[in-house]
């Protein structure tokens, strides 16, 4: 399920998904909200800096880092972080 947050000015923000065709809402601007990458020891990290957050991790599996990334974004997306 995709959470779509619309601010008072009519700007919609969401974690990208393919549930709806975003272009039907108007002009679309897509940017990375984070980076999920492995370190030199094989642990995975979710770098939330592009959205104003910190590094999340380490995680043994990429899937765990992706879950943490999505949870962080869902929590902070509508609170003015990473406009």
Residue 79 has a pLDDT of: 60
Residue 34: other Cβ atoms inside 10 A: 24
The number of C-alpha atoms within 13 Å of 57 and in the hemisphere containing its C-beta is 25
Please state, in angstroms and rounded to a whole number, the distance separating the CA atoms of residues 11 and 76: 16
pTM of the model as a whole = 0.76
Condensed to tens digits (0 to 9), the pLDDT of residues 46-73 reads 999 999 999 999 999 999 999 999 999 9
């Amino acid at each position: 399920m995709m959470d779509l947050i619309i601010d008072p000015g009519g700007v919609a923000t969401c974690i990208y998904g393919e549930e709806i065709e975003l272009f039907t809402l108007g002009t679309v601007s897509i940017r990375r909200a984070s980076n999920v990458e492995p370190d030199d020891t094989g642990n995975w990290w979710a770098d939330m800096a592009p959205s104003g957050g910190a590094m999340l991790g380490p995680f043994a599996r990429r899937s765990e880092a992706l879950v943490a990334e999505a949870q962080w974004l869902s929590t902070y997306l509508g609170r003015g972080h990473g406009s």
